[in-house]
Structures are given as C-alpha cells and as structure tokens.
Amino acid sequence: MGKEKGKQKHTYIGGQAVLEGVMMRGKTAYATAVRDPEGHIQIESRRIAQSKGMRVVSKIPLVRGVVNFVSSLVTGSKILMRSAAVYGDEGEPSRFEKWCAEKLHINVMAALSFIATVIGVVLALGLFVFLPMLFADLLAGTGGWLPRYGIGYNLIQGGLRLVIFILYIVAITAMKDIRRVFMYHGAEHKTITCFERGMDLTPENAKKCSRLHDRCGTTFLFLVMAISIFVFSIVNWVCDEYLNLFAYNDVVNFLIQLAVKLLFLPVVAGISYEILKLLAKSQSKLLLPLKAPGFALQLLTTREPDDDMLEVAIAAFRKVAEMDADPAVPETSFTASRMAKHYVAELRRYFAENGIDESDAEWMASLEEGIPRSELDTTDKIILPSHVRKLDAVAERRIAGEPLWYILGSTEFYGYEIKTDPRALIPRPETELLAEAAVAAAKGGDKLLDLCTGSGCIAVAVAKECERAGKAVQVFAADISGAALSLARENAQANGADISFYESDLLQGVPGQFDIIVCNPPYIKRADIQTLQREVKDFEPLSALDGGEDGYDFYRRLADEAPAHLAPGGILLAECGQGQAEEVCRLFSSFAETEVRRDLEGIERIVKAVKRV
C-alpha cells in the first residue's frame, strides 16, 4: 500500500459518473471505464478534437464557462448512452439509419444523443426556471405583499430552485441504479482527491479520501442557483426601472421575463464557473462558508463506493492521464453485449462483402454460443462482451483466409468431434459417405484399413459405429505424415476408438491383408491447386491435396498395391473428385467388379472395387 506523501498535487482531470462506471476528462482526451456484466473493467477512450478557435475561446473568462458547460452536456449525454450499450444490445443499424448515413451523411445515434441533450436542457429549464417563476408570479399576484421583479421576488425563485433540486435528488435516490451512479460519483471524487494528496492510486488509499470535492458539478449547480438570484435581480430591476419592458399584461410580462432569464443564463453559468475555479484553487478555511452549501449538496449526490467502483474510477483516471502524457497512445472502444440474431446478421454481411461463405458466420455463433443454427434468426439470447470479443477475433482470422474449422479447433464428422489443425486436411461432409459405406460393408471379424487417414476421422467413425453395432472389427489407419498420425491418435483417444496406426507411404509400410481398405487420397490436379479457395491452398497441407499432374497418381498406386493387401473378396472403397469416377473405375479394372455411388448433390463420389475370390 502506498503512503501519503504529504505534498499536494494539482490535476486538471475532472470526471463524471455514468452507468456502472466513471468518465474522466483531461486536456486532450477523455476515458470512460465501466464494469461489464461479466465483472471485467472495459475502457473506451477518445481524443478531444479542438479547433484553434475553441482553444482561444476556452481561455476567455466567462465565455469559457459557457463553452465548458455546453461541451460537458453533449459529451456527457454521449458517454451515458455508450456506457449503457455495454449492458445491452447495440443492435444492427435499421434501414432508416443506413439511409440517413448514406444519403444525408447523418449519424442517427449521434443525432439521438443531441436530441436527448436538448430534451434534458428543456426539462431542466422547465423545472428550474419556468416553474419557480410561475410560483413566484402567483405569490406576487396575491395581496400585493411581494413586489414583482425585486430582490424578494428573485430570492423566492432561487429558494424554490434549490428546494426543487433537493427534492429531485431525494426522489431519484430511491432508484437502485441511481444510487449506484451516486456511488460511482463518490468513487470519481475519491480517486481525484487521492491523486491530489500525492498518494498511490489504489482502492485502499482512495477509500481514505473524502467523497466531497471542490470542482464538483453539484457545487457548480448550487453556484448557478445562487448567482442567478443576484444576476436576475439586477437584470429584472434594469428591465423594469430603466427599459420599461414589463409594461404589458401578466402573460406577456411573464414571457418577456422568461426570455430575459434564458438570455442571461449563459452569463450566470460563466460567472459560476469562474467562481468555482477560484474556490478550487485555495484550501483556506476562510473559504469554507462559501464552499459549505456545495459540499452539503454533494452529500446527496455522492455515496460511499465499494472497492470495485474505486478500481473502475482509477482505471479511467490512469487511462486519461496516460493519453494526455503521450499523444501516441491509441483510442480504445467498448465491447458491448450483443443480441445474437443482430450479431449474426452483421457477420453474414461482413463475410459476404469479403467473399466468405455466410454459413461460416452461422456456424461460428451456433457452436460458440450453443444456439441451433435454425434458431439464430429468432433467438433473443444476448452474447456477453467477452464472447463478442472472441467471436470478433475468430471473424478477423476468417477474413484473413484461415479456415473456420482450424480456428475453432474441431468439427463434427459422422456425429463425432474431430480435432482440426494444420497437421491434416479438414474433414469434408461428403467424406461421411465413404465412412458410411465402410460401416455398411464391415462384418464381424473383419480387418479394416484406412489409408491416407489424415485427422483419423474415417477410422474413428468406422471403429465407433462398428462397436455400436456389435461388430468386432479391427481398425487400422496409415498415413505418410507423422504429424497427421499424431493428430489421428489424439482424435482416436478423445473418442475412445481402438485403432492401430502405421506411418506408411500408402501401403508400403503396412503388413498383412485386410478385408476392407478405405482411402480418401489426394486427387486435385497439381495445376488446379492454385485455383482453389484461399483457405484451402494457403492453409491446408499440400500433400493432402496434390494428386499429381492429372489427379490420378494415388489411384494408379492403389490399383497396383491394394490387391496384394486385400483378402479374397476384399473391398476397396475410394473417394474421388467430380468427374473422376469413370477413370478411377477404368484404373480398377483388374478387380472383379466396380461400383459407383453418388453423394447428396448427385456427384459420383465413391468407387467400390471388389477383389476376385
């Protein structure tokens, strides 16, 4: 734990509590830290783009207060919406949003944020300007004891504003979410005070600090209410005595007074801002009477935070301090929770725009989130932020060309989970037909060999299915690649399949005879490999694809080598590519008979050859 150093430190960093977090604003950037639904701290940071004119204006007394007030309103509204997005689905843009963005170059969410700010300002003016004026006017019209536009008249309005403000704060404190916002408000103050007192920024140290702070927005609001009494009294007096503006009926006079107040409200804000800055510069006890009302109100708008909240506030403070110190520090963004159906819809479009099969988006979400593909468009399931980040990372790897099943690390083959990585070719759905034919042909007591086993998917499926059917079949598997065999062994072990393995160049290193030989050999023409999809030619093992100049090299070898390793009446089952079955049958003409089986798309896919008895 750090120790208090005793030396006071000044900081220009200020803050704002948001939903489940804190925003800290510095000179050149602001950072918002929130704790997401999974308990992780997320930080979104942005650079503050300020024009030369704004930099000049920000140095002009009174004017800078107004500019800072408006800027804080707009930025604060945006940040509140962003912090809320971490807990809910941002959703995919509607057709209207897309149309506005494309045709009108309008960001609908930014527009809504602006509208929300305007509505908030209008409601505040109604509560704190219009309502007190209306009440004071009613009193002034009763018995003539309260002269309109005088000091008493404005004191009553100011008092009413303060009462309304306090009642408003007390009322919203009844809401659990607002109480938590007030706790984060306390965490913001404690963090800044901890830094200013020269202490290490830790929850333990921050907890010791006061939750009241000189530069709090609550104190600013009190100053606005106090200064408005003084300013509006002078303005009303001048308007009444010297300008004779209130010479009409009560309704018109009321509207004129309202307009004058609105006109001078920026002046009140500017004066209040300058007074707040002056009060914050000194810790003299002589100023405590002036600070006390603001501190008293802060007791309502802040609560004692817990350690988790202090961690969030400290994270925001450190991030904005880092960005102010180093212009090269990049911006960061929240990862929001997403509704699965919206996320998948966006991912489909993203993949389609980049030439990736849209079904990959569905498989990603289905397998990672446990949602059946048939329900992806209707489910209301929310994908949590950490899962969104994981899916985003998978999507970027897929866009870069990496095969989906290598990224996910496994695929399903014939109902069995098969581990997938670059050591072997990814099992294809059409190859299940080859496994099915082998299972159908196998009888109890048979010996079956899977050549070019790769991931071992065929051997695993046959061994397990024969076991389930009560067939005592011995299963063997061979491959020239030691790396592929290591993967096949892992898959056999993971699925509990009893398989014996040989490292062999086709049949050269395999002893004995078998009743069934199954083979899915490389059958792509060498010249055609470069025309294959990027995820195939750039990521899957070339040796599992290259079938020689014409694609038939391995079938020729099978025709020559398989008969010696097949028992009389033994069966050779081989997968082939589109348009290859006829030539493969010709190469297998020395067998007693050949038969071709089509896949679900009607392509001649499996050649069955039977050895003479």
Residues annotated in a binding site for S-adenosyl-L-methionine: 479, 520
CATH of the domain at 503: 3.40.50.150
Distance in angstroms (rounded) separating the CA atoms of residues 291 and 20? 29
Tokens of 580: 């290859």
Per-residue pLDDT at 5: 47
431-442 average pLDDT score:
98
Q: Which residues contact 289 (CB under 8 A, 6 or more apart)?
A: none
Based on the domain organization, do 274 and 312 belong to the same domain? Answer: yes
User: Does the residue 6 lie in any domain?
Assistant: no
DSSP letter assigned to residue 161: H
Based on the domain organization, do 233 and 169 belong to the same domain? Answer: yes
* pTM over cut 0.75: no
Residue 2, pLDDT > 50, answer no
Based on the domain organization, do 525 and 383 belong to the same domain? Answer: no
Cα 138 to chain centroid distance, Å, stands at 54
Lowest-pLDDT range, 88-97, 137-146, 427-436, 594-603?
Answer: 88-97
The enclosing H or E element of 501 equals strand 499-503
Residue 231, pLDDT > 70, answer yes
64-89 average pLDDT score:
73
Per-residue pLDDT at 56: 79
Residue 133, pLDDT > 60, answer yes
Q: Among 397, 396, 415, 521, which Cα is nearest to 461's? A: 415
Distance in angstroms (rounded) separating the CA atoms of residues 66 and 57? 10
User: Does the residue 414 lie in any domain?
Assistant: no
Based on the domain organization, do 370 and 287 belong to the same domain? Answer: no
Per-residue pLDDT at 502: 97
The backbone region for 39, taken as left when phi is positive above 0, alpha when psi lies in -120 to 50, beta otherwise, is left
Based on the domain organization, do 115 and 202 belong to the same domain? Answer: yes
* Single-letter amino acid code for the residue at 567: A
Give the total number of structural domains in the chain. 3
Tokens of 355: 């030439």
Q: Which residue, of 299, 325, 351, is where some domain finishes?
A: 325
Based on the domain organization, do 590 and 535 belong to the same domain? Answer: yes
Backbone angles phi, psi at 92, to 5 degrees: -85, 150
Per-residue pLDDT at 582: 97
Residues annotated in a binding site for substrate: 520-523
Per-residue pLDDT at 1: 40
DSSP letter assigned to residue 100: I
The predicted-structure confidence for 79-125, as pLDDT tens digits, reads as follows 877 777 776 555 455 555 555 556 655 555 556 556 766 777 788 88
Based on the domain organization, do 520 and 378 belong to the same domain? Answer: no
Q: Which residue, of 400, 416, 448, is where some domain finishes?
A: 400
Q: Among 54, 73, 79, 74, which Cα is nearest to 64's? A: 54
Distance in angstroms (rounded) separating the CA atoms of residues 562 and 383? 52
Distance in angstroms (rounded) separating the CA atoms of residues 480 and 505? 5
* Single-letter amino acid code for the residue at 501: F
Based on the domain organization, do 212 and 300 belong to the same domain? Answer: yes
432-453 average pLDDT score:
97
201-208 average pLDDT score:
97
Based on the domain organization, do 553 and 596 belong to the same domain? Answer: yes
Based on the domain organization, do 317 and 347 belong to the same domain? Answer: no
Residue 352, pLDDT > 90, answer yes
Lowest-pLDDT range, 262-266, 420-424, 519-523?
Answer: 262-266
Residues annotated in a binding site: 479, 520-523
User: Does the residue 362 lie in any domain?
Assistant: yes
Per-residue pLDDT at 98: 54
More reliable by pLDDT, 224 or 330: 330
More reliable by pLDDT, 138 or 24: 24
Distance in angstroms (rounded) separating the CA atoms of residues 566 and 287? 102
CB 400, CB 427: distance < 8 Å: no
Per-residue pLDDT at 21: 95
Q: Which residues contact 604 (CB under 8 A, 6 or more apart)?
A: 576, 578, 579, 580, 581, 582, 596, 597, 598
Q: With bands split at pLDDT 50, 70 and 90, how would you rate the model's confidence at 174?
A: confident
Mean pLDDT of the chain: 89
Grouping H, G, I as helix, E, B as strand and the rest as coil, residue 250 is: helix
490-517 average pLDDT score:
97
User: Does the residue 406 lie in any domain?
Assistant: no
User: Does the residue 413 lie in any domain?
Assistant: no
Rounded to a whole number of angstroms, the distance between the first and last alpha carbons of the chain is 86
The predicted-structure confidence for 396-411, as pLDDT tens digits, reads as follows 999 999 999 999 999 9
The predicted-structure confidence for 259-316, as pLDDT tens digits, reads as follows 998 899 899 989 988 998 888 888 788 888 889 999 999 999 999 999 999 999 999 9
Tokens of 538: 């750039």
User: Does the residue 332 lie in any domain?
Assistant: no
Based on the domain organization, do 473 and 356 belong to the same domain? Answer: no
Per-residue pLDDT at 71: 75
User: Does the residue 217 lie in any domain?
Assistant: yes
Q: Which residues contact 140 (CB under 8 A, 6 or more apart)?
A: 146, 147, 148, 153
Grouping H, G, I as helix, E, B as strand and the rest as coil, residue 123 is: helix
> Which of 172-176, 220-224, 266-270, 460-464 has the largest mean confidence?
460-464
Q: Alpha carbon of 230 to those of 129, 156, 158: distances in Å?
A: 15, 12, 9
User: Does the residue 500 lie in any domain?
Assistant: yes
The predicted-structure confidence for 354-393, as pLDDT tens digits, reads as follows 999 999 999 999 999 999 999 999 999 999 999 999 999 9
The predicted-structure confidence for 560-578, as pLDDT tens digits, reads as follows 999 999 999 999 999 999 9
Per-residue pLDDT at 464: 98
Residue 127, pLDDT > 80, answer yes
Per-residue pLDDT at 117: 65
Per-residue pLDDT at 99: 54
Structural domain boundaries, residue 389: 338-400
Q: Is the dihedral of CA 205, 211, 212, 218 positive or negative?
A: positive
Per-residue pLDDT at 542: 95
Per-residue pLDDT at 251: 87
Q: What is the β-pairing status of strands 447-451 and 514-519?
A: parallel
Based on the domain organization, do 392 and 318 belong to the same domain? Answer: no
Residue 57, pLDDT > 90, answer no
3-29 average pLDDT score:
83
The vertex-348 CA angle with 342 and 354, nearest 5°, equals 140
Q: With bands split at pLDDT 50, 70 and 90, how would you rate the model's confidence at 3?
A: very low
Tokens of 284: 């003299």
